[in-house]
Chains A and B, each alone.
Chain A
Amino acid sequence: MWKYVLRRLLVMIPIIFLVIFIVFFIMNITPGDPVQMILGNDPPQQAVEDLRRELGLDQPFFVRFFNYIKNALKLDFGLSYRSRRPVFEGIWPKFPTTLLLAVLTVTVSTVLGVILGIISAVKEYSAVDVTLTFTSLIFASVPGFWLCLMLIIVFSLKLHLLPSSGVGSIRHFILPVLASAIPSAAYLARITRTQMLEVMRQEYIRTARAKGATEKRVIFKHALKNALMPIITIAGTSFAAALGGSMITERIFGLPGIGNYILTSVQAKDVPVVMGSTIFLSVIFMVMMLLVDLAYAYINPTLRSRFSRK
């Protein structure tokens, strides 16, 4: 087991290098000159050249790339072009907001999605099932930003129930959490329904019934655990994605999270910040995927024995 974890962690290293290269390359070929962004329009020629040299922008692409890698290995990700402070000093303060949003979103969407999916599956083809399936199809298909705007219009502008933007209290999180949780709950409900229906057809479900188990026990003890794998995959992936900051949600609701921070940094061509946060996000994503795989092993004994054999 630990061997497996170690191997997975080692595989992350080349992936991170690849991510760094791709982002570095893209930032290099996209238009916009960071020097101009910093100094504004029409700066003196001397200042431009000094700053260019200071930021190392006078060097060729590969030299800059290898310098970056060299420093990154020492955990030095450079200074933000805008604030002139180390990159992670800018990223860390944004993390709690994003983390809170992610935890709330995934909790709400998983609980809601799984419960609705189970109801749908147990009452297959009933009016409840048809309504749920239809509604979830709609919410899984609407664009995220549209949902954000609708929630603001209904709950803030019309009903004056909840604040439309900013932070300060937990109430500020209700709309953003709903906006991110509803589509993924809808998606999860559909997956859960399909999985549960598949599992409920299995022979061991009949065995459980033949033992005299109650329907509740059959569903929650025998069926759900077998249907859990794809549910965990989706919940894990969406948690990882949410940790990277839901850019649109954070922007629309004015939450000072990582997503929002990356967006402004990209606009300002703040290359070190973009680089730093991308690395941060990819590491988080890979660790989450590893946790998902370990969760598989936890719920599925067939996989568990395969892990331990390696």
Chain B
Amino acid sequence: MSFLDIRDLTVVYTNGRETVHALNDFSLRLERGKTLGLVGETGAGKTTAALSIMRLLPERTGRVLGGSVTFDGADLRSLKEEEMRVVRGGKISMIFQDPMTSLNPVLTVGEQIFETLELHNIENRSHQQLWERVDEMLALVGIPPERKKDYPHQFSGGMKQRVVIAIALACSPQLLIADEPTTALDVTIQAQVLAMMDELKQKLDMSMIMITHDLGIVAQTCDDVAVVYAGEIIESGSFEDFFMQDKRRHPYTRGLFGSIPNIDSRERRLTPIEGLMPDPTNLPEGCRFHPRCPDCTERCRTERPTAHERGGHVIRCHLFEKEGE
């Protein structure tokens, strides 16, 4: 079994009137020490997947209908709340998208890093030792430790994201889920933060799920890639499967790569994928992608495709049925 193994996870959001099908039979695997890029458009279910692993779905509206999440041999869905708290922040950490709002404005950044350490202080270290660790963490993410007494509003966006990363890494987690960690940052800072995360990942030997809609980031940082569309993984495989050969690809993935501007060709316009993501309250019959698919057949409209695997490269599309056998 893989280090992190998500099988057939189904999550809905309900608000009384409508049911949003956020994740449908979502399956994902991640090996120890690897980085997985979770790619998809806004609203595809990337963040929902992350929150489901952490069991932090909005209490009132979010509901897991089925499936399993196994992490390091433990079934996360059946853990008691207090057992889950040990996992959160200790074994699995999460970095949220917007550093501007993910830090508490009334606590100093030092206090916020310290809190994680205090909550997961298994070795019973003294407060002084924990504060030394706070200094260490700040230094690790490139912030002068003297600034631990400052409040979030005294930091720039990039610095705040570094603090968020310091909080997430403080307890040396085995898995880091980074939910679009650089989307809110400008490009130069983006590169710095990504390089730093990669370096820290090597140093601390942890696994990482990098949630992003930026294929450039995937190319820079990931070992494996999974593409999410309308709440399901439509294609997953190694970095090579995605970036080295272009024959075997899901039509959606092909579209995604096609919409990247090419520096060699002189095209003036981008080639986007026609149409929009389906309404998650009313998903299409058959293959979720068929209304936008250039290779759509009669069968795609009615029958939902299953996952076809060849050498670890999984594609959920009827087109790849025969060659998989």
Binding site for B on A (CB under 8 A): 124-125, 202-204, 206-214, 221-222, 225-226, 299-302, 305
Chain B residues in 8 Å Cβ range of A300:
105-106
Contact of A207 among B85, B151, B154, B164 (CB under 8 A): B164
Knowing that A210-B96, A213-B89 touch, tell me 18 more A-B residue pairs with CB under 8 angstroms.
A202-B101, A203-B102, A206-B56, A208-B104, A208-B115, A209-B88, A210-B54, A211-B88, A211-B119, A212-B85, A212-B89, A222-B104, A225-B107, A226-B105, A300-B106, A301-B105, A302-B151, A305-B153
Minimum CB–CB distance for B171 against chain A, Å: 9
Minimum CB–CB distance for A132 against chain B, Å: 18
Chain A residues in 8 Å Cβ range of B101:
202-204
Contact with A along B92-123 (1 / 0, CB 8 A): 01101010011111111000000110011000
Structural contact, B86 and A212, CB atoms closer than 8 A:
yes
Chain B residues in 8 Å Cβ range of A125:
60
Indicate whether A214 sits within 8 Å of B104 (C-beta atoms), given known contacts A207-B167, A302-B151: no
Residue ID in chain B nearest A225 by CB atoms: B106
- List 5 tightest A-B contacts by C-beta distance, closest first: A212-B89, A211-B89, A301-B151, A212-B88, A203-B101
Q: How far is the CA of A176 from the CA of B56 in the complex (A)?
A: 47
Binding site for A on B (CB under 8 A): 54, 56, 60, 85-90, 93-94, 96, 98, 101-108, 115-116, 119-120, 151, 153-154, 164, 167
Chain B residues in 8 Å Cβ range of A211:
88-89, 115-116, 119, 167
Structural contact, B115 and A209, CB atoms closer than 8 A:
no
Q: How far is the CA of A305 from the CA of B152 in the complex (A)?
A: 12
- Among A202, A211, A305, find the residue whose CB has the most chain B CB atoms closer than 10 A: A211
Chain A residues in 8 Å Cβ range of B153:
301-302, 305
Structural contact, A212 and B120, CB atoms closer than 8 A:
yes
Structural contact, A207 and B103, CB atoms closer than 8 A:
yes
Chain A residues in 8 Å Cβ range of B154:
305
Q: How far is the CA of A278 from the CA of B85 in the complex (A)?
A: 57
Q: How far is the CA of A124 from the CA of B107 in the complex (A)?
A: 26
Chain A residues in 8 Å Cβ range of B90:
212
Q: How far is the CA of A226 from the CA of B153 in the complex (A)?
A: 14
Minimum CB–CB distance for A131 against chain B, Å: 19
Chain B residues in 8 Å Cβ range of A209:
56, 88
A-B CB contact pairs (8 Å), 28 listed: A202-B101, A203-B96, A203-B101, A204-B101, A204-B102, A204-B103, A204-B104, A207-B102, A210-B54, A210-B56, A210-B89, A210-B94, A211-B119, A212-B86, A212-B120, A213-B89, A213-B115, A213-B119, A222-B104, A222-B107, A226-B104, A226-B106, A301-B105, A301-B106, A301-B108, A301-B153, A302-B105, A302-B151
- Among A208, A210, A305, find the residue whose CB has the most chain B CB atoms closer than 10 A: A210
Indicate whether A214 sits within 8 Å of B105 (C-beta atoms), given known contacts A203-B96, A301-B153: no
Chain A residues in 8 Å Cβ range of B54:
210
Q: How far is the CA of A74 from the CA of B107 in the complex (A)?
A: 47
Q: How far is the CA of A249 from the CA of B231 in the complex (A)?
A: 62
Chain A residues in 8 Å Cβ range of B56:
206, 209-210
Residue ID in chain A nearest B92 by CB atoms: A210
Indicate whether A207 sits within 8 Å of B104 (C-beta atoms), given known contacts A212-B87, A212-B90: yes
Minimum CB–CB distance for A165 against chain B, Å: 45
Structural contact, B88 and A207, CB atoms closer than 8 A:
no
Chain B residues in 8 Å Cβ range of A204:
101-105
Chain A residues in 8 Å Cβ range of B88:
209-212
Q: How far is the CA of A211 from the CA of B91 in the complex (A)?
A: 10
Residue ID in chain A nearest B101 by CB atoms: A203
Q: How far is the CA of A299 from the CA of B60 in the complex (A)?
A: 30
Chain A residues in 8 Å Cβ range of B164:
207
Residue ID in chain A nearest B93 by CB atoms: A210
Q: How far is the CA of A291 from the CA of B77 in the complex (A)?
A: 49
Residue ID in chain B nearest A304 by CB atoms: B151
Minimum CB–CB distance for B45 against chain A, Å: 17
Q: How far is the CA of A305 from the CA of B120 in the complex (A)?
A: 32
